[in-house]
Amino acid sequence: MMSDVRRQRRLEQTVIFLGLLALSLIWLTPFATVVLSAIRGQGDLLARGVFSLPKKIAWSNFAEAWSTGDFSIYFRNSLLLIAMKVPLGIFIAALAAYPLAKLRFRFSGAIFIFFLAGLAVPVQVTLQPLLVMMKQLGIANSLFALVPPYVAFGLPFQIFVLRGFFRLIPSELLEAARLDGASEWTAFLRVMLPLSVPALATLCIIDVLATWNEFLIALVLISAKESRTVPVGLLQFQGEYSSQYTLLMAGILISIVPVIAIFIFLQRYFVAGLTAGAVKG
Amino acid sequence: MSEITLGARRPVIVRRRRWRIPVTAIPYLFLAPATLWYAAFLVYPMLQSLYVSFFDWDGLSPTMTFVGLENYINIFAVDEVARLALWNNILWTIGALALPTFFGLMLALALNRRAPASTLFRTIFYSPAVLPLVAVGLIWAWMYNPHFGVVNVTLKAVGLRSWANGWLSNYEMALPATFVTFIWSHVGFPMIFYLAGLQAISKDYYEAATIDGANAFQRFRHVTMPGLAETHVIVLSLAVINGFKVFDLVYTMTYGGPGRSTQVLGTWMYFQTFQYYHAGYGSALAWVIAAIVLVIAIPYIRRMSRG
């Protein structure tokens, strides 16, 4: 009887494994399509079809896409934006999360919900006034126009995650610092932040990806080529080279390689952060 | 070295200050930067947009004409595209509630068993979710290419030539085809949420149920599903919230076409405001999205604010 149960379990596992294998092959097909289309000449692709192996690998597609698509401009902009937005946003979020997690004061619950409600605000409902505002500030069409809305829309999730993490840090540690004469500011900077490096790092990774990928705000606030970010630039490239399939696929591959690399190497931290707070600890 | 003991305190340094920040003000000082930033660049534009939605305005000229609720009335009573867009959002949301959620749950159940290579499978199913949606849209536009795309080539190869069609240029198929792309790119979200939820259910419950003679389905019905109640709230709420916010995929794959058949509120708002210069009407459309999403998000936000 024992062996029956074991055999049935083995069979069940095999069926599940084969199902997952088949499904994951389907899931990888779009990636394979892009790669197989990007590394060959256009004539080869159209004559022999996407599923064939390339006759000759055309690495030059990548160099050509990079230069004709002006990806160096878009990469520089997206990286600059990340360098400005990510540390600033997470620091401001950490400042706000600290009292919400560790101090007692009036309206703390209401203030927390005020921030949480931002999780449900669609970007669309701020776009037109933001464009007017950035024009008035004289930074419409510059990369700086994206920092204010990106930080604002990042705050709700970041404050939520950091508040949850800060609450797990024993208050005794803060108390000890205060008894040593540390101000609340020092306790935050010297005790809370160093102990929260795992949460801060996770949020950084998530935020880097979100900033790299954001499309709609960048589409509306920026029209000048020299300020475009990668997604807007990629779409522009597609508009100009829509029938140059191999070149276009090389451009797509260029623009997704950074996020794929970050995801593959750092996914452990990343996935845990996304579901933070979704499950009772 | 016997003086060194754990927990020993350094000498207290008393600094004299000219003035001290009152203790009661400290929390608010920490909150000030985030609150001001959030108020200036999220809340204020939202309210400004509400104000604009009561006007007839092109978004550029200094003259704005007050029209009361006319923009809102037009959305529901006059503008057929707006109603189609709302309907498309509803269809999209129903699909998002059902399909990626169901697939995500099934994948989580399969991957929760520590099957061989489950980490690799999880990486594969989640990986499309980290891509820019613009890239996802362009990749799938190539997959749907009528002449050279993978979809039609495959259909022809397996003898289903009659099924091959223009997909994104086909009035009936454009929205479902775009939605298939959405499933591909989004199934990872419910999957990782359900995985986290499953891992939080104590093994003891399953053992107890097995001892009581519960079969696999009964264990799923009476242990797994109740254990995932909180996760369901989050996953389903996010599906609806994101279902009404959808923009990037539709914009890059169909541009609202063919005709206007795949317009959703998010894209129609964009076209009205920034292409046709109907800023007042576009703002009203944006507020319709915001109102729907904010109301539906109430249980989600309540869940998040607890604990």
Residue B250 has what pLDDT? 97
A170 touches chain B (CB under 8 A): no
3-state secondary structure of B56: strand
Q: Examine residue A261 and state whether it is found in any structural domain, yes or no.
A: no
Question: Rounded distance, CA A264 to CA B120, Å?
Answer: 10
- Whether residues A101 and A194 share a domain: the answer is yes
Q: How many domains does chain A have?
A: 2
In a domain, residue A132? The reply is yes
Same domain assignment for residues A83 and A144: yes
Please judge whether B134 and A27 are an interchain contact, meaning their C-beta atoms are less than 8 angstroms apart: no
Which residues of chain B are within 8 Å of residue A51 when distances are taken between CB atoms?
150, 153
Consecutive 10-residue averages of pLDDT for chain B (307 residues): 48 59 90 98 97 94 93 95 96 95 94 82 94 97 92 91 90 96 95 91 89 89 90 90 94 94 96 96 97 92 82
Contact yes or no for A128 and B279 at CB 8 A: yes
pLDDT at B5: 47
- Give the CA distances from residue B226 to residues B201, B221, B223, B297, in Å, rounded to whole numbers and listed in that order: 10, 8, 6, 21
Q: Which amino acid is at A64?
A: E
| Distance from C-alpha of B285 to C-alpha of B53, rounded to nearest angstrom | 8
A139 and A159 part of one domain:
yes
The distance of Cα A250 from the centroid of its chain, to the nearest Å, equals 22
Q: Which amino acid is at A109?
A: G
Percent of chain A past pLDDT 90, that is, above it, reads: 78
Say yes or no for a CB contact (<8 Å) between B132 and A262: no
Q: Which residue of A has its CA nearest to B285?
A: A125
Q: Is residue A198 part of a domain?
A: yes
CB contact under 8 A, A120 and B241: yes
Shared-domain flag, residues A143 and A217: yes
pLDDT score at B57: 95
In a shared domain, residues A36 and A124: no
Say if residue A152 is in the same domain as residue A201: yes
Residues of chain B with Cβ-Cβ distance to A100 below 8 Å are 31
3-state secondary structure B233-286: HHHHHHHHHHHHHCCHHHHHHCCCCCCCCCCCHHHHHHHHHHHCCCHHHHHHHH
> Amino acid identity, residue B272?
Q
Element (H, E) at A159: helix A147-168
Residues A124 and A178 grouped into a single domain: yes
Interchain pair B132, A27: CB under 8 A: no
Whether the Cβ atoms of residue B92 and residue B178 lie closer than 8 Å to each other: no
Q: Which of A131, A91, A231 is nearest to B48 (CA)?
A: A131
Residue A97, H or E segment: helix A71-102
* Interface ipTM above 0.95: no
Mean pLDDT along residues A73-101 = 97
User: For residue B65, what is the enclosing H or E element?
Assistant: strand B65-66
| Residue B4: per-residue pLDDT | 45
Superfamily (CATH) of domain B90-265+292-305: MetI-like (1.10.3720.10)
Position B113 scores a pLDDT of 78
Q: Give the model's confidence band at A277: pLDDT under 50 very low, under 70 low, under 90 confident, else very high.
A: low
Residue A257 burial class via C-beta count within 10 angstroms: exposed 0-12, middle 13-18, buried 19 and up: exposed
- Residues A97 and A50 both lie in one domain: no
Higher model confidence: residue A149 or residue B116?
A149
Domain that holds residue A45: 2-61
Q: For the segment A57-74, what is each residue's pLDDT rounded down to a tens digit?
A: 889 999 999 999 999 999
Domain ranges, ordered by start, for chain B: 90-265+292-305
For the cut 90, the answer to whether the pLDDT of residue A278 exceeds it is no
Gap between the Cα atoms of B114 and B95, Å rounded:
30
CA separation for the pair A17, A9 (Å, rounded): 12
Residues A173 and A230 in one domain: yes
* A50 and A141 assigned to the same domain: no
Q: Are residues A57 and A170 in the same domain?
A: no
Residue B307, pLDDT score = 58
Using one digit for the tens of pLDDT, what is the confidence trace for A23-52? 999 999 999 999 999 999 898 888 888 888
Residue B262 corresponds to which tokens in the numbers above? Answer: 């795949």
A278: in domain: no
Give me chain A's average pLDDT, please: 92
Question: Cis link prior to A231 (omega < 30° from 0)?
Answer: no
Examine the fold and report which residue of A39, A61, A83 is the final residue of a domain before the chain moves on.
A61
CATH number at residue A209: 1.10.3720.10
Report whether B192 contacts A274 (CB < 8 A). Answer: yes
If asked whether residues A8 and A26 sit together in one domain, one would say yes
A189 touches B: beta carbon within 8 Å: no
Tell me the nearest-neighbour CA distance from B195 into chain A, angstroms.
Answer: 9
pLDDT at A161 over 60: yes
Q: Is B202 helix (H, G, I), strand (E, B) or coil?
A: coil
H/E element, B55:
strand B55-56
Check residue A8 and give its pLDDT: 84
Q: Is residue A35 part of a domain?
A: yes
